[in-house]
Amino acid sequence: MPGIQLLALYTVPESPRWLISKGRDDDALKILTKYHGNNVQDDFVTFEYNEIRETLRMEREAASSSGWADLVRTPGNRKRCILIILTAIFSQCSGNGLVSYYLSSILKTIGITK
């Protein structure tokens, strides 16, 4: 199955977002026009193209002014990070994944099939 997926990967077009981020605006506009505009460059396609460009611009600006240190710089962010980490740890320790993975096997073993 992974081999088939790997072969099919070459038939899937690149994401317009990725193309715009790499400076290939014309290719991105062609793909948006083909798949979102039925081969017609209408207002929706233009809006979506401009929205992607603006989002990428804002992400670059935000990335240049912030970093990983912002996660622990303020007391509120430290508290949020600790809560996120503890939630992940406790969900692993509680056994929810184990129960949900093996529940059908256990129920079949004791005779519950429906």
Full DSSP string of 25-37: HHHHHHHHHHHHS
Residue in the structure block whose two tokens are 């099939």: 113
What is the per-residue pLDDT across 39-64, written as a single tens digit (0 to 9) for each? 999 999 999 999 999 999 999 998 88
Dump pLDDT digits (tens) for 86-107: 998 988 888 777 788 888 888 8
Q: Where are the chain's structural domains?
A: 1-65, 71-114
pLDDT at 5 over 80: yes
For tokens 């994944």, what's the residue? Answer: 97
d(CA 3, CA 6): 5
SS3 content of the chain, % helix, strand, coil (to 5): 75, 0, 25
pTM for the full model? 0.59
Task: Report the share of the chain in percent with pLDDT over 90.
Answer: 54
Question: Backbone dihedral region of 74: left (phi > 0), alpha (psi from -120 to 50 degrees) or beta?
Answer: beta
